Structure 1
Amino acid sequence: MDEHDTPAIPADDDPTLVFLKVEEAARRLRIGRTTCFALIRTGELESVMVGGLRRVPVDAPAAYATRLRTAQRSA
């Protein structure tokens, strides 16, 4: 492998990210884009507007999964 063939780090694995695109958050949760937007609309998944773009804080998918697991354990 020469210097021009270095593998790229996938965007959603970058440890310096602060926000994810909605599609990246959906991929982390293994759900569809439409379902992800529905979770955002109901407030179950945190998101913010950056300029005119909808973004999900990088820790929000894990926080949602934790809340979901806690709710299902107590049910």
Structure 2
Amino acid sequence: MSLTLPAQRTSAEPLLYRVADAMRVLSMSRSVVYDLIRTGRLRTVKQGRTRLIPVSAITDYVALLEREAGEQP
């Protein structure tokens, strides 16, 4: 699975990822992803009982990490 910006999307790529898919995209464990969701650092939506992570939320989270990395001395 590759992460692309919305302008670069192709129709075959999903707009929403299940937690397990987001884990692979972000290379993070299940507990870390759920902790990010719980603390509000990673946005989600719900469809029925399923928690889904929009591609835009993953892109925003990566941008947040880059900004935080740039702020450190």
**What's the TM-score bracket when you normalise by the shorter of the two chains?**
0.7 to 0.9
Aligned to 1:22: 19
Q: Which has the higher contact order (CA 8 A, sep 6+)?
A: 2
Q: What is the aligned-residue identity percentage?
A: 30
> Structure 1 length normalisation: TM-score?
0.75
CA distance in 1, matches of 2:24, 2:60: 15
How do 1:22-41 residues align onto structure 2 when only pairs under 5 Å count? 22-41=19-38
Aligned residue pair count: 63
Q: Normalization by structure 2: what TM-score? A: 0.76
The unaligned stretches of length 5 or more in structure 2 are 3-11
- Higher-Rg member (1/2): 1
Runs (4 or more) in structure 1 with deviation over 6 Å come to none
